[in-house]
Chains A and B, each alone.
Chain A
Amino acid sequence: MAIDIDLTQFHEIFYEESLEGLGAMESGLLNLDIGTPDVEVINTVFRAAHSIKGGAGTFGLMDIAQFTHIVETTLDEVRGRKRGVTQELVDLLLESVDALRYMIDCSKAGKAVDQDQIAELADSLGQVERKAPAENIKTPAAVSSGWRVIFKPAPHLLQTGNEPYRLFRELKTLGELMVTADATALPDFDQLDPELCYLSWELLIRGDTSREQISEIFAWVEGDCALEITLQGDRRQFVERRQAEREALPEQAEAREAASIRVNIDKVDGLINLVGELVITQSILNRVTGEITGNKVEDLLAVVEILVRNTRDLQDQAMRIRMLPIDFTFNRLPRLVRDLSRSLGKQVDLVITGNSTEVDKTVLEKISDPLIHLIRNAVDHGIEKPDDRLAAGKPEKGLIEISASQEGGNIIIKIEDDGAGLNQDKILATARERGLVGQEELTPAQINNLIFQPGFSTATEISSVSGRGVGMDVVKRNINDLGGNVELSSVAGKGTRFSIKLPLTLAILDGQLVRVGKETLVIPILNIVESIQPNKIQILEITGETRVYRYRDQYLPVIRLYETFGIPTDIMELQKGLLVVVDTGEQRAALFVDEILGQQQVVIKSLESNYRPVPGLSGATILGDGTVAMIIDITSLTQLYRNTNRKEVA
C-alpha cells in the first residue's frame, strides 16, 4: 500500500535549508587555502553537498539530486586524498554552487532549467586534471609575502636535547632565511652556565610557505619557548590576527546554530504587537494607581512598579527577536570581491569584523544593495592595479575592511580601503562641468560630498560594474530612507572610508507630537530643525494664497497641515500657532501646527497592510492612551502640498 504524501509542502523548507547549505559551501570554498587545504573545511563543504543531495532526492527533485551527486563525488575524492585541490577545481566548485542556486530558483519559479549548461559543468568537473594531493599548483607567488618569527627559548631548552640550529636548518628548506640573534640576555663569562640558553632570535623567511609549516618545525619545542609568527608588514599582521580570530569562531557558530528554530515572521510581528499593547495597558495602570489614595495603595504601587520593569524587559526581548546578525548580509561580500577583483585584474583582500552585530531584519534586507554598491566602487575605483600599487610603494594586494559595531541606539558600518582615495581635482572639475557647483571655493569635505549628487560619476569608462553615475546618490537615498546617514573621508593616495550610521530597528522612531485641531500628529525628530513662534514680519505672501516664511536667509514654504490634511481647527492665522521647520536633506519647509506636545519614541505601525499608503504619511502609531496617531512623512507631504497648490493655481 503506497502512502500518497504530497511532497510539495516540504519544498519550501528544502529550498531554505539548501540555500543556507550553499552559502556554507561557498564560504568554505572561498576560505580554502589552496596550498594547504584544511581538512575540516573540505568536510564541511562535503557534508553540505551531501545534505542537499539527500534532501533533493527525498523530495523528488531529481535534477538537483543528480547534479549535486556529481559535486559530492568530486568533494569525496578530495577529502579521500584521491584528488588534489587546485585553483581550477575550486573555481569549478564555486560555479557549481551558482548552478545549484540557479536550479533551485528555477524549481521555485516553476521554470525549466538550461540542461546544456548544467551538463557542460558536470563534464568539466569530471575532466579537471586529477592531480594527486602532493602536486598542488603553486598559487601565483605573492613576492612580498614572508614571515617573521620571534623565537625566545626558555633557558633550559638545551637541556631538553633540542638544538636551535637544527630548527633553523629545517626552516631554511622552506625559503630564504635571514637570522638575527639577540644576545642581550647573555651574562658575563664568569656567570655563564654552559647548559643554559641565553639567546633569542628573529628569523625572516621569504617564500611561499604557510603558518602551519613553520609552526610544525617548532612543534618539538612548543612548551619550552616563546614563539611569535607574524606575516610581514603591519597591515598583514592585522589580517593575520583577524583570520586567527575567525578560525576560533567556528565552534561558537556551530553551537549557536544548533540552538535555533525557524519562525514565521508573522508570528513574531503578532507577538510584538501584543507586547506593545501590554506596554500601553501597563502604563495606563501605572497612571491610574498613581491617583488612588488609601492604605493598601503602597502595596499596589510596589507591585505595579515590578510590572513596569517586567513589561519593559519583555518589550526589549520581543524587539530583539526580529534582530539577526549582520553576517547574513556580509556573507555574500567575499564572493563578490573575489569575482570582481578577478575580472578587473586586481588583487584584493577582504577583512570583515563585527559580523555578529545584530540588526533588525528589515534594516538587514535594505542595507544589502548600498553595501554591495560601495564594495563594488572600492574594488573598481578605489583599489589600484597591482603594478600601480607596487609603484606607489604599497603591497600588491589591496585591502578592504568592513566592520559593524553597535553604538548607543545605532549600528555603525565602516567600509575602508587602502586604495587611491578620491581625486579631489577631478571631482571638482566634473562637478563644475555638470553645473552642479559654481566657481566658489569648496572645502575638501564639501568636494567629497559632491559624489552623492545625482548623475555624478567621474569614471571615464563605463564598465559593466560602475560608471553610469546612478550609484552614489541612490546609495545615500537608500540609507537616508532607513533613517540613517553616510559620511565619507578620504586621503588621496592612501584610501577612502565610508561610515554608515543606521538605527537598530526601523520599527521605532523618535517622534515629536503636535496637535492640529483635535488630532495628534507625529513629526520624526530626525527631520526637525527648529520650532518657532512665527513673527509677522517674516511672513511673505506670494500669489495671494501661498505663504512663505523667512527663516534665517532662506524662504520656506509654509505648509498648513490643517489645510493639506483637511483637519478642522480654530487656529488658522500663523501668529496664533507655531511653525516647525523641517528638513528632508533635500529641501526645507515650515509646518504650521496648533500646539507642540511632548516627544516620545513611537512604534511605527503600517497603514498599508490593512488599508493603503496615504500621501503625506509614513505610517501610524499607537499612543499611550491606546488611540492611533498619524506619522508624517515630510518628503511625501511636500509633494502632496505642491500637488494641491498646483491644482488650485490651475
Chain B
Amino acid sequence: MSSPVQTIKNLELDEDATSQYLTFLLAGEEYGLDILKVQEIRGWEQPTMLPNALNYVLGVINLRGTVVPIIDLRQRFALEKSQFGQTTVVVIVKVSSADKERTVGIVVDAVSEVYNVNDEQIRPTPDLGGAISMEFVKGLATLGEKMIILLDIDKLINTGVLKEIATH
C-alpha cells in the first residue's frame, strides 16, 4: 500500500525531472554526485602540501594554471587511510560558494558509473550509520537492486570542508 506521501509525489510527477549522477566508491559504499557539478576525473598526482593544514587537506595541484585544493574524503570522515598510487582517482568538482564557484578535488577509491535518476526514485534517508554524515546527503536512490547515497556536494564542500578549516 503506497503511503499518502508517496501518492502525492506521484501526482506531481514531472517527466522531465531526471538528473544524472556520477557514482564513486568510498569504503565499500556507493555515493552519487550530480554530474553537472563534476568537472573532470583525474589520476593521482602528488599535491604540494599546505602549511599547517588539517590532515584531510592533502595539498594543492596545478589544474591548467589554477591552484586547486585536494581533499581526502577518507580522512575527512575518519576512515582508514589508503595508499595513493596509480589507481587512485581524483574527482574535480565545481561547487557554488557564496556568489562564486570554487573548484576542488576529492580523492575517492574508484569511480563507478553515470546513472539517470528520476526524482521519484529518490527517497529520504534514514540514518544508516554510514561513513558520510547525513547532513551532506540529499537522499537515497534505488536503481534496481542498487542503493546509491546521493550527496549534496555543495554542502559537503562548503560546510563540511571549507567552513571546518576556517574554524580550525
Chain A residues with a Cβ under 8 A of chain B: 272-274, 276-277, 519, 564-567, 605-607, 609-612, 614-617, 620, 622, 626-630
Q: In whole Å, how far is B141's beta carbon from the nearest beta carbon of chain A?
A: 29
Known: A272-B65, A611-B50. 8 other contacts (CB 8 A): A565-B52, A605-B66, A611-B69, A614-B50, A620-B48, A622-B62, A629-B48, A630-B48
Q: 18 A-B residue contacts at CB 8 Å?
A: A272-B65, A274-B64, A519-B48, A519-B49, A567-B49, A605-B66, A607-B60, A607-B67, A609-B66, A610-B68, A610-B69, A611-B60, A611-B102, A615-B52, A620-B67, A627-B48, A628-B48, A628-B60
Known contacts A610-B103, A610-B104, A628-B48, A622 near B65 by CB under 8 Å = yes
In the complex, are the beta carbons of B166 and A628 less than 8 A apart? no
Measured in the bound complex, the distance between the Cα atoms of B100 and A612 in whole Å is 13
Chain B residues with a Cβ under 8 A of chain A: 47-53, 59-62, 64-69, 100, 102-104, 162, 165-166
Contact of B67 among A567, A606, A616 (CB under 8 A): A606
Q: In whole Å, how far is B70's beta carbon from the nearest beta carbon of chain A?
A: 10
List of A residues within 8 angstroms of B52 by Cβ: 565-566, 614-616
Report the nearest A residue to B102, measured CB to CB.
A610
Contact of B51 among A617, A627, A629 (CB under 8 A): A617
List of B residues within 8 angstroms of A276 by Cβ: 65
List of A residues within 8 angstroms of B53 by Cβ: 614
Measured in the bound complex, the distance between the Cα atoms of B102 and A611 in whole Å is 8
Q: Which 9 A-B pairs rank lowest in CB-CB distance, beginning with the nearest?
A: A273-B65, A565-B51, A628-B48, A611-B69, A605-B67, A277-B65, A620-B67, A276-B65, A610-B102
Known contacts A620-B60, A628-B60, A614 near B67 by CB under 8 Å = no
List of B residues within 8 angstroms of A630 by Cβ: 48, 50-51
List of A residues within 8 angstroms of B104 by Cβ: 610-611
Measured in the bound complex, the distance between the Cα atoms of B100 and A614 in whole Å is 19
In the complex, are the beta carbons of A610 and B49 less than 8 A apart? no
Measured in the bound complex, the distance between the Cα atoms of B103 and A565 in whole Å is 24
Measured in the bound complex, the distance between the Cα atoms of B61 and A627 in whole Å is 7
Measured in the bound complex, the distance between the Cα atoms of B59 and A519 in whole Å is 12
In the complex, are the beta carbons of A626 and B165 less than 8 A apart? no
Q: In whole Å, how far is A635's beta carbon from the nearest beta carbon of chain B?
A: 16
List of A residues within 8 angstroms of B100 by Cβ: 609
Most buried by B among A274, A277, A617, A628: A628
Q: In whole Å, how far is A281's beta carbon from the nearest beta carbon of chain B?
A: 11
In the complex, are the beta carbons of B48 and A610 less than 8 A apart? no
List of B residues within 8 angstroms of A565 by Cβ: 51-52
List of B residues within 8 angstroms of A273 by Cβ: 64-66
In the complex, are the beta carbons of B51 and A564 less than 8 A apart? yes
List of A residues within 8 angstroms of B47 by Cβ: 628
List of B residues within 8 angstroms of A612 by Cβ: 162, 165-166
Q: In whole Å, how far is B55's beta carbon from the nearest beta carbon of chain A?
A: 11
List of B residues within 8 angstroms of A606 by Cβ: 67
